[in-house]
Amino acid sequence: MRITTDADITHLITRAADAIEDLVRDTPDAVLGIATGSTPEPLYAEITARASRGLDLSRLRITCLDEYVGLDARHPQSYRHYIVQHVLEPWGIDPEATVLPTGDSDDPDAAAADFERRILGLGGVDLQILGVGPNGHIAFNEPGSSFSSRTRVVGLTPSTREANSRFFADKAEVPSRAISQGIGTILESRHALMLAFGEGKAPAVRAMLEGPATEDVPASALQKHADVDVYLDDAAASLLADR
């Protein structure tokens, strides 16, 4: 794991955007795995700015980590909607060139299995963007998830539903289930880029990087990933012993 800390998030976003730009210039039809949530939004905005200055992203293939079960695809909080808004439209990518889970399927288990099959069909993920939940989750793999888990329907913990309720008008609207890439699936990405900003993430960051690799802290599985860059602002890194 390579860990970079900086007081200024802009510097970290530049480094992360450089990794995406290098990949696209080297392999225009690479597979990029998108994380949703607020942390990577400035990264996607930076890539949008580079696209407006001529970076051609049109051949990139896009996948994602997870999707709520039961939200209509057009719901403003569906992850499909997020990806259309922050990635596909501003980067000029054809929605047909994406592999996203169908969260509003009548059969979510079949939709999860289909999502995993289609990720494998892409030949795997070249670069996976990741964020970490305050409880240590990655994607929607909550504490206790097996490190060998594959893409499946998962239940969301009360703390995750609480954390994500900030995006919904009413807490009761936050779905209780999601389709999530498994930890085993995520560990197969060829390169991963983990972003964590803010003191609210500091305990999860310490457990992810300096605690034992344990299923109690899903993100600690990244200690077993072959190629991970971690970008932390000073607040998120504030509880690390080794800074």
Catalytic residue set: 66, 135, 137, 142
Q: Which of 166, 167, 159, 129 is nearest to 143 (CA)?
A: 159
Q: Between 31 and 70, how does the x/- string for binding to ligand F6R read (CB under 6 A)? A: ----xxxxx-------------------------xx----
**Which residue, 66 or 126, has its beta carbon nearer to ligand F6R?**
66
Q: Between 134 and 163, how does the x/- string for binding to ligand F6R read (CB under 6 A)? A: ---xxx------------------------
**Which residue, 65 or 192, has its beta carbon nearer to ligand F6R?**
65
**Which residue, 41 or 56, has its beta carbon nearer to ligand F6R?**
41
Rounded least distance, CB 181 to ligand F6R, Å: 8
Query: d(Cα 157, Cα 169) in Å, to the nearest integer?
Result: 19
Complete DSSP assignment for 131-188: E--TTS-BTTB-TT--TT--SEEEEPPHHHHHHHGGGSSSGGGS-SEEEE--HHHHHT
Rounded least distance, CB 59 to ligand F6R, Å: 23
Q: Are 141 and 112 in contact (CB under 8 A)?
A: no
Determine if 131 is a binding residue for ligand F6R (CB under 6 A). Answer: yes
Q: Could you give the angle at which helices 9-26 and 41-52 cross, rounded to 10 degrees?
A: 50
Neighbours of 78 (CB within 10 A): 21
- The footprint of ligand F6R (CB under 6 A) covers 35-39, 65-66, 131, 133, 137-139
